[in-house]
């Protein structure tokens, strides 16, 4: 049995009368790419905010490695191994790519608030920063101000910033948002490499159905705050409720496109 690394139990979040997340129970297996899909307003980002401790649930539980982390705030979940991205690009535009990643490495170091650090710590952070920039394909842009990088590179840099904290679980909220279509496969390959090489777990919110179907081990479909369906990509693609409620003809159309002419 694969180990469950992250789990929610009957998670709810109400905004006034609106139940943005309405009784969601999900189990994420360690080492998996687990995607959360659903139409706009389905509650995906709110669910992420609950997982990462950005907001508190109205009721229900979040467990990380069996430990109840429901009430841990964002900075604490980051320290126990959960790294998250935001739907909107989130970096320091007036710092270089290098500085952005090094800050992330340093923030997670043990002596992060002490001024007097042995010089070898800085070397360690610098080495790690170089390695991470190489991993996300930005080594040559290390000295460039983050705000002046092309959008696709900014999204790669965000991955680098998350990796700076050396998380076990990456929560990625639409990492390809705003990217040109031709850049999407590269970023997804990068995410797969990060997951496989570092044996990390990825929870992914993504609108691009081709991407989701090809990259995911498991998919949870959300609709109006609830889980509509869960399964492997093949199961989700074949699920009639999902087809009528969300996927519509989209995925089928894509399959036909790929079918060689008879």
Ligand X SMILES: Nc1ncnc2c1ncn2[C@@H]1O[C@H](COP(=O)(O)OP(=O)(O)OP(=O)(O)O)[C@@H](O)[C@H]1O
> What is the contact surface with Mg ion in residues (CB under 5 A)?
44-45, 87
Nearest 5 degrees, angle CA 103-CA 106-CA 108?
A: 115
Q: Measured between alpha carbons, how far is 146 from 201 in angstroms, rounded to an integer?
A: 27
Question: What is the DSSP annotation of 157-198?
Answer: HHHHHHHHT--SEEEEESTTTT--GGGHHHHHHHHHHHHHHT
Q: List the single partner that 52 binds among Mg ion, ligand X, none, CB under 5 to 8 Å by kind.
A: none
Gap between the terminal Cα atoms of the chain: 42
Q: Which residue's Cβ lies closest to Mg ion?
A: 45
Interface with ligand X by CB under 6 A: which range of 41-49, 58-66, 77-85, 140-148? 41-49
When asked if residue 45 is in the footprint of ligand X (CB under 6 A), the reply is yes
When asked if residue 50 is in the footprint of ligand X (CB under 6 A), the reply is no
Binding mask 19-38 for ligand X (x = CB under 6 A): -x-----------------x
Q: What residues from 86 to 145 belong to the interface with ligand X (CB under 6 A)?
A: 87
When asked if residue 40 is in the footprint of ligand X (CB under 6 A), the reply is yes
Q: What is the DSSP letter of 146?
A: G
Q: List the single partner that 60 binds among ligand X, Mg ion, none, CB under 5 to 8 Å by kind.
A: none
Nearest 5 degrees, angle CA 218-CA 224-CA 226?
A: 50
Binding residues vs ligand X (CB under 6 A): 15, 18, 20, 38, 40-46, 87
């Amino acid at each position: 049995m694969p180990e469950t690394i992250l789990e929610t139990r009957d998670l709810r979040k109400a905004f006034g009368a609106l139940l943005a997340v309405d009784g969601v129970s999900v189990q994420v297996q360690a080492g998996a790419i687990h995607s959360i899909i659903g139409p706009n307003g389905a509650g995906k980002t709110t669910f992420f905010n609950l997982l990462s401790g950005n907001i508190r649930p109205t009721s229900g539980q979040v467990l990380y490695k069996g430990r109840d982390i429901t009430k841990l705030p964002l900075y604490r979940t980051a320290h126990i191994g959960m790294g998250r991205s935001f739907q909107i690009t989130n970096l320091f535009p007036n710092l270089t790519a290098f500085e952005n990643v090094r800050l992330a490495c340093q923030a997670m170091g043990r002596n992060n608030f002490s001024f007097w650090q042995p010089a070898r710590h800085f070397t360690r952070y610098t080495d790690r920063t170089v390695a991470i920039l190489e991993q996300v394909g930005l080594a040559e842009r290390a000295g460039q101000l983050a705000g002046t990088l092309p959008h696709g590179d900014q999204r790669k840099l965000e991955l680098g910033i998350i990796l700076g904290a050396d998380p076990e679980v990456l929560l990625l909220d639409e990492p390809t948002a705003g990217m040109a279509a031709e850049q999407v496969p590269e970023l997804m390959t990068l995410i797969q490499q990060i997951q496989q090489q570092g044996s990390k777990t990825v929870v992914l919110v993504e609108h691009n159905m081709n991407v989701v179907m090809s990259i995911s081990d498991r998919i949870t479909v959300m609709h109006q705050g609830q889980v509509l369906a869960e399964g492997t990509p093949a199961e989700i693609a074949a699920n009639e409720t999902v087809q009528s409620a969300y996927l519509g003809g989209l995925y089928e159309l894509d399959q036909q496109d790929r079918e060689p002419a008879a």
